Amino acid sequence: MQFILLIFCIVALVDCKLKVLRPSQLVDRLGSKVNIALANFGEIPFGHRYMGNVDMAYPNDGCDSLMPTNGSQFIMIERGNCTFVTKVRNAQNAGYTLAIIGNNYDYPLESDFVMADDGHGYAINIPSIFITSQDFNVIKEFVLKYQVSNSLEEQVFVLVKFDVKKRDDVDVILHLEVSNRDSYRVIDEFQEYYDLLKNEKVNYTLLYSIFNSNNTQSDYSIDESNCICQRRYCAMDPDGEGIGTGRNIIEEAIRQTCIFKHFPLQYFQYMNKFNFECSKAQAYSTCGSKIITNLGIQDDEIVKCRDESFKDPFNHKTATNLNNSYNAILEHQLLLQEKSGAIGLPSVVVNSVVYKGQLTGKGIFGEICNSFNLPPSVCREEVENYYKFEINGDGDNYLFLIIFIVSILIAIFMLVLYFLFKKFVQKDSVQVTQVQVNEMISQYIKFYEGKEQKKQNSF
Ligand SMILES: *[C@@H]1O[C@H](CO)[C@@H](O)[C@H](O)[C@H]1NC(C)=O
Ligand SMILES: *[C@@H]1O[C@H](CO)[C@@H](O)[C@H](O)[C@H]1NC(C)=O
Ligand SMILES: *[C@@H]1O[C@H](CO)[C@@H](O)[C@H](O)[C@H]1NC(C)=O
Ligand SMILES: *[C@@H]1O[C@H](CO)[C@@H](O)[C@H](O)[C@H]1NC(C)=O
Ligand SMILES: *[C@@H]1O[C@H](CO)[C@@H](O)[C@H](O)[C@H]1NC(C)=O
C-alpha cells in the first residue's frame, strides 16, 4: 500500500496539475491529470498542493456576488461577461480558497496562456486556475449530478498542485526596467527576504529590459540616440518629446547591474533612493552618482565595472574604441531575456519557472524557498511539511543523535554487567578458601610469566 502511495506521490509531484481524486467515474472520464494555466494576480502558493471539494457558481459566469460556501473549498466559474479578476474576487468574498475558471469556447490550452489582471488584481489573495472548456464541462456535469443526489460518494474532490522546479542551488532572475516604478517596489519589498537568504545557495541575475534594434527594424527605425554600440542595445525613449533618451536608460541599467554585482547589500538602498530622487532620464547619471557617494559606495569600482564591460569583438578584451564594441553585461542580459519567457515587467523567474500571480517580495521568497531540494530553515514558514526536510537536511545531527543514544545504551548495558559481575564475585568468594586463593594466584603468576616470555619471543 505504501509503495503504491509512494508511486502516486512521485507521479503527482512531477506531473500533476489538477487531479480529480473523486468520484471514480469522473477520474475515468478525465484521465490522470488536467492541464491548467495560472493568473498573474492573486497569491499563488508555489510548491504547495491544495485539495478540496468543488462547487459550481450560479449563475455560471460568477460576475455577481456568489453564495457563501457551505464547506467547499473550490468553485468553478465560466469565462466571459466580466474580467477574471471580478470572478476570482467574488469567489474570494464567498469564502473559497481557489477559483477554477473554464474557457467558454473550445480551444486547446496554450502553454503561455495567463489570466490577465484588469488593474484591480492587487486585492485578490486566493489563487485561480484556468482549464479548457472540455475539461470544465465534464467536471461541471459531475458537480451538478452531486447537487441533485447529494450523496457524498459523488461529491467532486480534486487536488491542485502549483509546480516549481527543485534544485540544490536556486537560480533567480529579476527582470526589471529602469524607468518602471513597479520594478523598484518589487526590489524594495524583496530586500528583507534577500537578507534572510543571504547565506543560502541562491544565484541572482539582474535582467534589465533592453532590445536589439535589429529585431525590430522591420517595423520602424529606432533613433540612434536611444541606443549604444551601434544600435546593438536600445531602450525605448522614456519621455517621447523630452530630452531623456533610451541611452540614459541603458547606461543606468549597466550601473545598477554593476552596483548589484559589487555591492549587493547597498544595491537595495540605492534602488530605494533612486526611485524617490531620480525622476528625469537625462539626469539619471548625475542623480545616481550623488546617491552612490551618499551611500559610501566606491564609485571607482562601479566605473571600472562599466568600462570593463565594453569588449572588443575581436579579442574580447576591454574595448578602447567604444564605437566598435559590444557590452558583455548587456549581451548576457539580451540572451537571457530571449530565453526567460517572462511576461510583462517586472517579472521573476525561479529555476526557469516564471513567477505568476501578484508579484510581492513575500511571494518571490515563497517561490525561492519551495525551489530548493532541501529548503533552508529560514524557509520553515513557506514550505509545506517542512519537518520532512529538517530530518533530511540536518542529516548529520540525526546521525549524532543515533550515536548518542547507542552510546547511552551501551553504557547502561556495561553498568548492569558490572553490577551482576560484582554480585557474582561476592557470592562466590564466600566459598573460596584461602588455599584456593593461593593456588589461583600462583597459577596466575605462572600464566603471566609465560605470557611475558611469549611476548619477548615475538620480538
Ligand atoms: C453572460 O451573460 C448573458 C447575458 O446576460 C447570459 O445569457 C449568459 O448566460 C452569461 N454567461 C454565463 C456563462 O453565465
Ligand atoms: C450546509 O451543509 C450542511 C451539512 O454539511 C447541510 O446540513 C446544510 O443543509 C447545508 N446548507 C445549505 C444552505 O446547503
Ligand atoms: C547563475 O544564473 C545565470 C542565469 O541563469 C547563469 O547564466 C549562471 O551560469 C548561473 N551561475 C551559477 C554559478 O550557477
Ligand atoms: C544587426 O544587423 C547588422 C546588419 O544586418 C549586422 O551586421 C549586425 O551583426 C547585427 N547585430 C546584431 C547584434 O545582431
Ligand atoms: C565614434 O563615433 C562618433 C560618431 O558616431 C565619432 O564622432 C567618433 O569620432 C567615433 N570615435 C572613434 C574612436 O572612432
pLDDT tens digit string along 9-36?
A: 333 333 338 989 889 999 999 887 889 9
Report the C-alpha gap between 226 and 238 in whole angstroms: 9
**pLDDT value of position 278:** 93
- Mean per-residue pLDDT for 105-116? 87
Asked whether 327 lines ligand 4 (CB < 6 A), one says: no
Report the C-alpha gap between 54 and 34 in whole angstroms: 15
Asked whether 80 lines ligand 1 (CB < 6 A), one says: yes
Report the C-alpha gap between 458 and 455 in whole angstroms: 5
What's the pLDDT band for 171 if we cut at 50, 70, 90?
very high
Confidence check: pLDDT of 455 > 70 = no
CA-based nearest residue to 348, from 189, 242, 201, 457: 189
Q: Whose CA is nearest to atom 5 of ligand 3?
A: 171
Within 6 A (CB) of ligand 2 lie 70-71
- Residue 168 C-alpha cell reads as 540544490
Q: How far is CA 128 from CA 76, 247, 384, in A?
A: 10, 40, 19
Asked whether 320 lines ligand 5 (CB < 6 A), one says: no
Atom of ligand 5 nearest to the CA of 321: 13
Pairing, β 310-311 against β 128-131:
unpaired
Q: Tell me, in angstroms, the distance from the centre of ligand 4 to residue 173's CA.
A: 27
**pLDDT value of position 16:** 39
Q: Tell me, in angstroms, the distance from the centre of ligand 1 to residue 109's CA.
A: 22
**pLDDT value of position 107:** 92
Which of 59-73, 115-129, 248-262 shows the lowest per-residue confidence on average (mean pLDDT)? 115-129
- Mean per-residue pLDDT for 42-69? 92
What's the pLDDT band for 445 if we cut at 50, 70, 90?
low
194-203, pLDDT tens digit by residue?
A: 999 999 999 9
Using DSSP, state whether 51 is helix, strand or coil: strand
Atom of ligand 1 nearest to the CA of 62: 14
What's the pLDDT band for 7 if we cut at 50, 70, 90?
very low
Asked whether 205 lines ligand 3 (CB < 6 A), one says: yes
Q: Which residue type is seen at 61?
A: D
Best probe residue, ligand 1, of 61, 100, 105, 137 (max atoms within 8 Å of C-beta):
61
Ligand nearest to C-alpha 59: 1
What share of the chain in percent tops pLDDT 90?
52
335-393, pLDDT tens digit by residue?
A: 888 877 676 789 899 988 888 888 899 999 999 999 999 999 999 888 877 776 665 54
245-257, pLDDT tens digit by residue?
A: 999 999 999 999 9
